[in-house]
Amino acid sequence: MIKCRKAVESLTPYLPGKPIEEVRREYGILEVTKLASNESQWGASPLALLAAREAVLESAVYPDGNCTELKDALSKKLGVPSEKILLGCGSDETIHLLGKTYINEGDECITGDVTFSTYAAAVDSMGGRTVYVPLRNHTFDLDGILAAITPRTKLIFIANPNNPTGTAITHKEQEEFIKKVPEDVLIFFDEAYQEFVKTPSFPNTIEFLPKYRNVILSKTFSKIYGLAAFRVGYMIADPEIIDCVNRIRPPFNVNSVAQKAAVAALSDDEFVQKVARENRGALGYLQSELDKMGISYIPSETNFLMIDVAKNAQEVFVELMKEGYIVRSGAPFGEETYIRVTTGTLAQMSGFIEKLKKVLGK
């Protein structure tokens, strides 16, 4: 057997949410709702789907490797020059590209415990080491992270809002933090769920970019835009960083259909506003029903909610699945009594609450 690289030996594959088809097969039920992967339950913008349908007809031609049209659309929308933007096959890819670009063996990254697992995968796979700082009140502990910085620290990953807890740090906290991080340490703010946030104190990270050249902002089309299947994410950073990462980017990493869909999605503000509004309604409904049941949860700024079922989460996860609802058990995140539930339409939420009552005997 040919041995893989040493850094790869200790990695474990990403654990995705359980697919609907698998649950149908395993439990013999037809009606299955997946609330496990923070996908949009409102689908995608009709404009994006129309653009994708047209783009499929050009399947024999390689994509524009530079994603010129999409970069220009983002540049216009965000007020950021194109040379500060790098597109990836999901932000999963941009995170991995960052690891490949900057992590030498023995380098460290710092992130929260718990958070999105791709950060550690990107660093550990390069022979780096991930240093985990426990969350404080389910939120990134910025002072704890500052205290964990060593001469080996290369990268700091902050999911804002955080996945799986749904909590956010504020503009002021972020700025104070950035000021204290050494200039040769990159700070990656992952705002995959930013469009769902309602708190006015949420950071305007783009504002920090010209002043702090070690700041990177990451965004995705997978969440509010409902384009998870197309795989489009991007990062915004200093042109020097973008230039380095671009050197190892696969030449056609974002396919043509995805590029066209993303451009169209950007023009559909009405859709984004509708999803944000309906998501807030669903979140409010879910939280008020849980309040009535006396069940606690972590107040969320996103399209998911961590619910403390005060029982073995893995068992509750399985019981809910038998009832046709796929959620996430908090157990793999180290949150043994929590389940993470993606918000959806009011009909989905009321169906879920009914089954949760049944499973918890409420």
Ligand X SMILES: Cc1ncc(COP(=O)(O)O)c(C=O)c1O
Residues that bind ligand X (CB under 6 A): 38, 90-92, 116, 159, 163, 190, 192, 220, 222, 228, 233
β-pairing, 186-190 with 153-159? parallel
Q: Given the complex with ligand X, which of 48 and 192 has the nearer CB atom? A: 192
Nearest distance, CB of residue 192 and ligand X, angstroms: 4
Identity of the residue, 224 or 321, whose beta carbon is nearer to ligand X in the bound complex: 224
Least separation in angstroms between CB 327 and ligand X: 14
Q: Which two tokens stand for residue 281?
A: 């309604």
Comparison of 317 and 355: residue with beta carbon closer to ligand X:
317
Contact 215, 242 (CB under 8 A): no
Is the CB of 198 or the CB of 211 nearer to ligand X? 198
Helices 269-293 and 346-360: crossing angle, nearest 10°? 20
> Which of 227, 234, 259, 220 has the alpha carbon at shortest distance from 61?
259
Q: How far is the CB of 218 from ligand X (least distance, A)?
A: 7
Q: What is the DSSP letter of 190?
A: E
Q: Is 92 or 323 the residue whose CB approaches ligand X more closely? A: 92
Side-chain-side CA neighbours of 265 within 13 Å: the count stands at 28
Q: What is the DSSP string of 112-172?
A: EESS-THHHHHHHTTT-EEEEEE-BTTB--HHHHHHH--TTEEEEEEESS-TTT-----HH
CA distance 129 to 180: 22
Residue placing its CB nearer to ligand X in the complex, 102 or 225: 225
In eight-state DSSP terms, residue 355 is H
In the complex with ligand X, which residue's Cβ is closer, 41 or 91? 91
Cis ω on the peptide bond leading into residue 164 (within 30° of 0)? yes
- Nearest residue to ligand X, scored by beta-carbon proximity: 90
Q: Which of 104, 103, 126 is CA-nearest to residue 188?
A: 103
Given the complex with ligand X, which of 122 and 192 has the nearer CB atom? 192
Distance, in Å, from the CA atom of 224 to the CA atom of 229, rounded to the nearest integer, reads 13
Q: Cα dist. 89→8, 193, 228, 303, 312 in Å?
A: 21, 17, 10, 22, 36
